[in-house]
Structure 1
Amino acid sequence: MANKVMKSAEEALQGVLFDGMTIMAGGFGLCGIPENLIAAIRAAGVKDLTVVSNNCGVDDFGLGVLLAGGQIRKMISSYVGENKLFEQLYLAGKLELEFNPQGTLAERIRAGGAGIPAFYTRTGVGTLVAEGKEVREFDGALYVMERALTADLAIVKAWKGDRAGNLVYRKTARNFNPMMATAGKVTVAEVEALVEPGALDPNAIHTPGIYVDRILAGPVYEKRIERATTRPRESVGAAAGEEV
């Protein structure tokens, strides 16, 4: 078995980064993002990137640091509402955006990993989403054709992984990571815990190691929450509907 274990994010990305490449980055908001690999891409300074991700982090964290560094030319996303810089660059014509319904984005990535070049969906028919795309009728309903997505590099984050590259994700941090792991020409995974082969329950593995080319144990995870909303604690009387 080839050695897939890398000592650092920098080593894991050695020889796979180049200007103008397409990168898939797992995560939903800031949940389940490959924090260490994103930081290493920022430090490498590659530019003119096309990034496929549900969103682009926040202004100072996640993929937002690549945006702030002027490294991203185009985003293929489904949600961009947490990043003010994203809005500014897009409105100024300095950032390209290919906007997708969220389920369509997920299916485009899954199709790319499965070797399916395109598929038809009813989502987006009759809207801006369908402009410039083929629309066909099946059984009396209209469907828009969506092309699959692949990438030069997929960076994903898992909870646990073994030295063979088998991955287990934790709860909602799974999100886009499993499908992206299948759709990259090279897939690099970072994990919170790196274990020996055989330590993971085979029935619990979400991404088989065949899809993972390199793996590392991430040294630090901030796991930020992009927005926390709180309210003052109500008194017992107010909670019961009494006048206070």
Structure 2
Amino acid sequence: MSPLSRLFVALVTLSLGLACATSGSSTGASSSVEEVPSEGSSDVKPPTPLQKLTAPEGFSVLFPGTPEAQRSKVPVPGGEVLTAAWSADENGVLFSISTLDYPESVVASRPASDFFAGGKAQLVSKLSGTIKSEENITLQGYPGQALTISSDSGEVRTRSYLVGPRLYTLLTRYNPSIAAPQVDEFLGSLELINPPPAITPAPRSSSDAGTPASDAGTPASDAGTPASDAGTPASDAGTPGTDGGTQPRK
């Protein structure tokens, strides 16, 4: 697996407050991104045709070649996260797909947007990049987010989806001055095989709205924000009490 692939798996994991226990993740977090080919480079070869990769994790995707999966486990409060990643470098264009399987209790305690927000912030930070575009998307009815990030290491495009307790992330990185026609085909090729039902987060009360903050990692500070707002109606709730004491007219 290339350094950027390991980097991304580590970033997504770190963004959710997980302790990266595998050597692959820690190596990726400190690795630099490889140079992408420059315009007019003589090293560019005809691209390898994309072919369907079917994984036992329950999905298929069009991929250049047949990469081996890199799998590991990361302990988290309340259980462990199973991770898997596939990657290939085709003429300097990186193709990567990763999965993170969370305990259902973790997914049920937070909105899907939290799972996307942390990875986005960490990826932008580590790449020293800027967000060029972002969009809420869906895949077979499941929520997702598409990102394009510009950086000195190339343009990075990702698509992430929360499918039941699993987070899918497709990532590509390439030199935007060189045509990379396979990128769109790869990003749009993910198909889910017998996916599980979506997990609906339990509604939070004003008293425990900030509870997931201690476990949520990077998005935790945002997740607690509604807690302070949630108390606003409480002060108004007493107003009718004053009116309620008005004596009836004589």
**TM-score, structure 2 normalization:** 0.25
Higher RCO structure (Cα 8 Å, ≥6 apart): 1
Higher Cα Rg, which structure:
2
Q: Which has the higher strand share?
A: 2
**TM-score, structure 1 normalization:** 0.25
